[in-house]
Structure 1
Amino acid sequence: MKVPFVTKDQLEAIAAQYPTPFHLYDERGIRENARRLRAAFAWNPGYREYFAVKATPTPAILKLLKEEGCGCDCSSLAELIMAERCGITGEDIMFSSNETPPEEFQLADKLGAIMNLDDFTLIEDLERATGKIPEKVCCRYNPGGVFALGETREGFQVMDNPGDAKYGMTRAQISEAYRVLAAKGAREFGLHSFLASNTLSNEYYPVLARMLFQLAVELKEETGCRVTFINLSGGVGVPYHPDQPENDIAVIGEGVRKAYEEILVPAGLGDVALYTELGRFMLAPYGHLVTRAMHEKHIYKEYIGVDACACDLMRPAMYGSYHHITVMGKEHAPCDHKYDVVGSLCENNDKFAVDRMLPKIDRGDLLVIHDTGAHGRAMGYNYNGKLRSAELLLREDGSVDLIRRAETLEDYFATLVW
């Protein structure tokens, strides 16, 4: 059972000041999770979490995570600027982009970010844009094929298709990239790879780590280049369904440690720093989309219309993703009504739930849509002229801060030329 991190009374008080819909984040949950992650990898002295800014590009969140020792994984000009304005610069930024324009390389270089090159041809693009190759550089690896863990002890199958992904270099390309970069002045090298999204398995990171650790040993032998860091990227997921298993980050960290000691240490690479780039794991469970039931419709199905729409959370519309819904004040009522919970867009996929069994919903009820702290408001848009909602931070002392105001019609019309 998923339990909201706020009560109905708290939400009604918040909604009296900040009208629904809005995204609400839990400071206490975010901080405690960041500390669990850091503890899981404390055995590696160089460990650093580079929070994936694309998941939740909100300054208050980035500053909060900075206080917990996290850097930023940026992939665009705007994300670089946001990181800088939050006081995050230098090697606290990992710049992992693809199809990169010159101005993004130039700003990343100016900020002193670690460059993570997605493609062999970007070596030339980076050199042309900045006039040099940095001494510390990373390359993104794509092993191709299909990645699968099979049935894990959690009973969950992990499968993804790296060979169909646009990211990363082939095995031959990454070896050649190291040689070329070394010839152009690079002295410290990193490896990065991302094989599967939102995995619910304690085995994913250790399996990925073994692959990258072995590759690091091979590249050291082939090229003589000094591998100083390995970035395990993201992919550690969260259970969107109440009955799904939850990752144990301590177990995951221990699995990676074992692989590290078995592969890297004997090869003379026992000083390699480990990095992660977790967005969903860091934030998703600690965000709610709060919306109010506005309308009932009784035709071939039963519909509940809410004041949020896919512009506030597009994952269900885009991917068919499940997000759990709590009807506030009715947490213990029987789920004996079948509803489609829908927004007001002129699109039939604007649905937060389809044929969902829920308690009876009345107009005015507050609904919490769970696990929206990552890839929630970040993926919002303005179709049908909808305005993107506010973001609020529930502080540890129970107070609430407005951390991004809701858009206005003036914002929407500001870029138009009449």
Structure 2
Amino acid sequence: MLKKPFVTKAQLEAICEKYPTPFHLYDEKGIRETARNLYKAFSWNKGFKEYFAVKATPNPTILKILHEEGCGTDCSSLTELMMSERCGIVGDEIMFSSNDTPAEEFVKAKELGAIINLDDITHIDFLKETAGIPETICCRFNPGGVFELGTDIMDNPGDAKYGMTRPQLTEAYKRLKELGAKKFGLHAFLASNTVSNEYYPELARILFNVAVEIKEETGVELSFINLSGGVGIPYTPDKEPNDIFVIGEGVRKAFEEVLVPAGLGDIKIFTELGRYMLAPNGHLVTRAIHEKHTHKEYIGVDACAANLMRPAIYGAYHHITVMGKEDAPCDHKYDVTGSLCENCDKFAVDRMLPKIDIGDLLVIHDAGAHGFSMGYNYNGRLRSAEILLKEDGSTEMIRRAETPEDYFRTLEGFNF
């Protein structure tokens, strides 16, 4: 699959006249289309709702766009709850899925009427003492072991810190019912960034069977099942993207085969997608400012790992387009580097690209999720602006770039 930017070189040059590089650029049209297709794929389920994972792209403008398309928010911290509230997203449009949760965060979630998703059985009494048990409550399940699709090991839930064991799950629902909870949900996340149409249907079948068992063991009939995230994107151009319609149909089939015969056909299906919703709809735009010829060939750009950490911390691949040279031969091998005093600050290693000249604009693909949000200030580097490419072709700054004054603002007793 050929990865193409959602902007042309001419468009991008015009944008760069207004906003200096580096910056994150988001495609409103693509975001809305992704949300609409997700809802179409799950339209068979009356109560379906997407709770966008705020951690992926915590920007109010993005949250409001998705809210207009019917999405709620998945929050995991106090500030994410506050951001949702300020966007007018409250009540059961918020899923609060956290771990090692401070008391004040449970209190805020309860105050907002958010659906609280308990990560551990010990959190029941902690929640009871700090905020009280709400009428609607969810429990997070971790089956342990490894999660496999066919012969492929997709992930290792047994090593994950999240969720309750299967016996704990039964005990949790019994206890919550005793404490006055009336509506119950089930949540699980077993694998990250799966590029497979089989992941969600397989996860759904596991959770649907657990729902039937819970009904038999406790008398609790679940109101909703949250498939969480894990539906990924192809970062490399050699992979085909997931087909959300095939995925939705696979989940429907499992629903009809497992839940309907058990009298649980009214269960609502929720999702908490972040990467799938936003990653392909965001670019990190940067400019080549240096070239270096030593033991290797280097191209230095004005972005760094402070703007996109994934390549530095995971060795993750992000495709790079040299704007205006899309059809030129990729006959030069480069390391594309940032300016941090860390050798891992590289967007690409030994990447075959067209010849890059000083001043060329580079688009780093699939940076719309876990891009800006994972930014940091090592070396005193400042996080860049976020720009929205609107459906009519105009642009809007939805977060300004940080300034040195922002960096120094929390320092007490010093005058800079």
TM-based fold match above 0.5: yes
TM-score of the two chains, using structure 2 as the length reference: 0.98
Aligned-pair Cα RMSD in Å: 0.6
The alignment partner of 2:303 has SS state of coil
**One-letter code of the match for 1:267?**
A
Q: Shift in Å at residue 129 of structure 1?
A: 1.0
Could you tell me which residue of structure 2 aligns to residue 14 of structure 1? 15
Residues 12-411 of structure 1 aligned to structure 2 (within 5 Å) = 12-130=13-131, 132-150=132-150, 157-411=152-406
Residues 317 and 349 of structure 1 are in contact (CA less than 8 Å); yes or no, is this contact kept in structure 2?
yes
CA distance in 1, matches of 2:316, 2:28: 25
Distance 2:80 2:376 in 1: 17
Runs (4+) off by over 2 Å? none
Deviation digits for residues 121-164 of structure 1 (CA, Å, limit 9, x no counterpart): 1111111111x21111000000000111135xxxxx45100000
Query: Is the 2:146–2:153 Cα contact (8 Å) retained in structure 1?
Result: no
State the distance in 2 between where 1:162 and 1:395 align.
39
Counterpart AA for 2:58 = P
Secondary structure at the aligned position of 1:227 is classed as coil
Q: CA deviation at 1:187?
A: 1.2
* Secondary structure, counterpart of 1:333 in structure 2: coil
CA–CA distance in structure 1, aligned partners of residues 45 and 96 of structure 2: 22
Contact 1:284 1:374 in 2 (8 A): yes
How far 1:402 moved relative to its partner?
A: 0.3
5+ residue gaps, structure 1:
152-156
CA contact (8 A) 1:280 1:374 kept: yes
- Kindly provide the CA deviation profile for residues 334-381 of structure 1, in whole angstroms up to 9, marking residues without a partner as x: 000000000000000000000000000000000000000000000000
Once the two structures are superposed, residues 265-319 of structure 1 have per-residue CA deviations (whole angstroms, 9 ceiling, x without a partner) of 0000000000000000000000000000000000000000000000000000010
| Aligned counterparts of 2:272 and 2:154: Cα–Cα separation in 1 | 20
Aligned residues: 412
Q: Secondary structure at the match of 2:330?
A: coil
In 2, Cα distance between the equivalents of 1:217 and 1:188? Answer: 16
Contact 2:386 2:398 survives alignment (8 Å): yes
Give deviations 1:239-277, integer Å, cap 9, x for gaps.
000011210000000000000000000000000000000
- Post-superposition offset of 1:226: 2.1
Which amino acid is the alignment partner of residue 226 of structure 1?
E
Asked whether the 8 Å contact 2:228–2:271 carries over to 1, the reply is: yes
Distance 1:133 1:103 in 2: 15
Please state whether the residue corresponding to 1:391 is helix, strand or coil: strand
- 1:154 corresponds to which residue? none
AA of the residue aligned to 1:12: E
Task: Give the Cα separation in 2 of the matches to 1:125 and 1:318.
Answer: 34
- Is the CA contact 2:201–2:254 (under 8 Å) kept in the aligned structure 1? yes
Contact 1:53 1:72 survives alignment (8 Å): yes
Can you give the 5+ residue segments of structure 2 that lack an aligned partner in the other structure?
none
Matches of 2:268 and 2:84 in 1, distance apart?
22
Distance 1:400 1:23 in 2: 12
Task: Tell me if the contact between 2:52 and 2:274 (Cα under 8 Å) persists in the aligned partners.
Answer: yes
d(CA) in 1 for partners of 2:126, 2:356: 56
CA contact (8 A) 2:49 2:72 kept: yes
CA distance in 2, matches of 1:126, 1:393: 39
AA at the equivalent of 2:276: F
Question: What amino acid maps onto 2:90 in structure 1?
Answer: T
Letter in 1 for 2:361: L
